[in-house]
Amino acid sequence: MAANWDILWTNARIATMAPGAAKASGPAGAAPYGLIEAGAVAVAGDEIAWVGPAADAPGDAVRACGHVVDCDGRLITPGLIDCHTHLVYGGNRAREFEMRLEGATYEDIARAGGGINSTVRETRAADEDALVAAALPRLWRLMADGVTTIEIKSGYGLDTENELKMLRTARRLGAANPVTVATTFLGAHALPPEYEGRADAYIDLVCDEMIPAVSAAGAADAVDAFCETIAFSPKQVERVFQAAAAHGLPVKLHAEQLSDQSGAAMAARHGALSADHLEYLSDADAKVLAAHGTAAVLLPGAFYFLRETKLPPLAVLRAHGAAIAIASDSNPGSSPVVSLLLMLNMACTLFRMTPEEALAGVTRNAAQALGMADRIGTVEAGKRADLVQWRVADPAELAYRIGDDPCAAVMWGGHTEPRP
Ligand code: DI6
Ligand code: FE
């Protein structure tokens, strides 16, 4: 059967990041980064049709392919995946940054009605068009770093109407751009001021009104919550997870960011896709995460920006084979970050991850964290043709340089479009 290829990118080094790639190197193991030298990748429709050494490509398919691109030895990786962001919001929190530099803590500011609730005020006041306009430059900046899939959470509306507005905004960003947007409902992010002292009643609203409305509108692909002393207890989060399950929505959790609530292990037991932050995760709970196949999403931008010093238990996660992902956590309060490549660097410098682990963290493992591992995250036949060409020779350079702009070309589901 003659293959029918639309595009062939050839003469490239391909970091496929195929399974096993981030584990072993050396003679007996898989090549680091799943690297293919002098490689080629063929695309048919929106899928990868073939990948391998260019010399092995079937000659009739190559000759029949109308669009062959010589990559001049450049590196190709899977499109990058930012699996945890709060990209949609009104206003900014530069003033709180100043307050923290003067000595206030993130928790102090939150308890005084600032923090997440100050962004809630500005987000409620903005209409959908204004939220799209505010988020677009942030999205374009991430796309310029080779991001082809991004998760965007709600969580600054905190009532049914405004949470739906945020999720519609996120979907609009996806419809207007080649990037794939996965949306997450984060109604249990903070207690809105009108529910002061009535957290359980707010959780009732999340479970009985918001989740059914979000589900009916098809507005979210997953449900998240913030399990913390300044947010919701594991018991309250469990109720949110039960409501999500009743509507067939997968769950994930902001856990162990500021203290150890054993939220991540609880989430893992509920089959969560991921547990995120995890600085205060205990060694015992790290094992629970790994055992349940719940991805550990580390957020070095928030660690850096809050000047956290407690490191997530990387060695234990690694030793037990947890899927470790890296994301920007792009948000106005704890991680005003719009570069995923900078997160690769910080994952290495701050968390001591290897450049190979960091790249797996924004490709294969980030796909797992979104429940999309069957579609994206590696350069393998049958996956969506989300690919990036980089002006670097060695994949470690992606984590090494700071403030560079190495992205040469991006393919989004088989289409190449000018970079924003
Ligand atoms: N943890 C975070 O780092 C973000 N949300 C959360 O639960 C911060 C959100 C914000 O400060 O606006
Ligand atoms: Fe977050």
For ligand 1, residues with CB inside 6 Å are: 86, 115-116, 119, 189, 226, 254, 257, 302, 329, 331-334
Q: Please report which ligand is nearest the Cα atom of 123.
A: 1
Q: What is the pTM of this model?
A: 0.97
Q: How many Å lie between the centroid of ligand 1 and the Cα of residue 179?
A: 23
Give the Å distance between the CA of 158 and the centre of ligand 2. Answer: 15
Bridge partners (DSSP) of residue 142 are none
CB atoms within 10 A of CB 310: 14
pLDDT in tens, the chain (420 residues): 557 999 999 999 999 999 864 444 444 556 899 999 999 999 999 999 999 999 999 999 999 998 999 999 999 999 999 999 999 999 999 999 999 999 999 989 988 888 999 999 999 999 999 999 999 999 999 999 999 999 999 999 999 999 999 999 999 999 999 999 999 999 999 999 999 999 999 999 999 999 999 999 999 999 999 999 999 999 999 999 999 999 999 999 999 999 999 999 999 999 999 999 999 999 999 999 999 999 999 999 999 999 999 999 999 999 999 999 999 999 999 999 999 999 999 999 999 999 999 999 999 999 999 999 999 999 999 999 999 999 998 999 999 999 999 999 999 999 997 766
Q: Give pLDDT, residue 29.
A: 56
Ligand 1 atom at minimum distance from 106 CA: 11
Single out the residue of 62, 33, 43 nearest to residue 410, CA to CA: 43
Q: Residue 49: beta bridge partners?
A: none
Q: What is the position in ligand 1's atom list of the atom closest to the CA of 119?
A: 12
Taking the centre of ligand 2 as the mean of its atom positions, its distance from the CA of residue 329, in whole angstroms, is: 5
∠ CA 237-241-243 to the nearest 5 degrees? 115
C-beta separation of 49 from 115 below 8 A = no
Enumerate residues with CB within 5 Å of ligand 2 (an ion): 329
Q: Which of 93, 108, 116, 304 to mutate to test the pocket of ligand 1 (most atoms within 8 A of CB)?
A: 116
Tell me whether residue 31 is exposed, middle or buried, using C-beta atoms within 10 angstroms of its C-beta: 0 to 12, 13 to 18, 19 or more.
middle
Q: Which of 184, 186, 254, 330 to mutate to test the pocket of ligand 1 (most atoms within 8 A of CB)?
A: 254
Residue from 84, 85, 86, 184 whose mutation best tests the ligand 1 pocket (most atoms within 8 A of CB): 86
Classify burial at 362, counting beta carbons within 10 Å of its beta carbon; exposed 0-12, middle 13-18, buried 19 or more.
Answer: buried
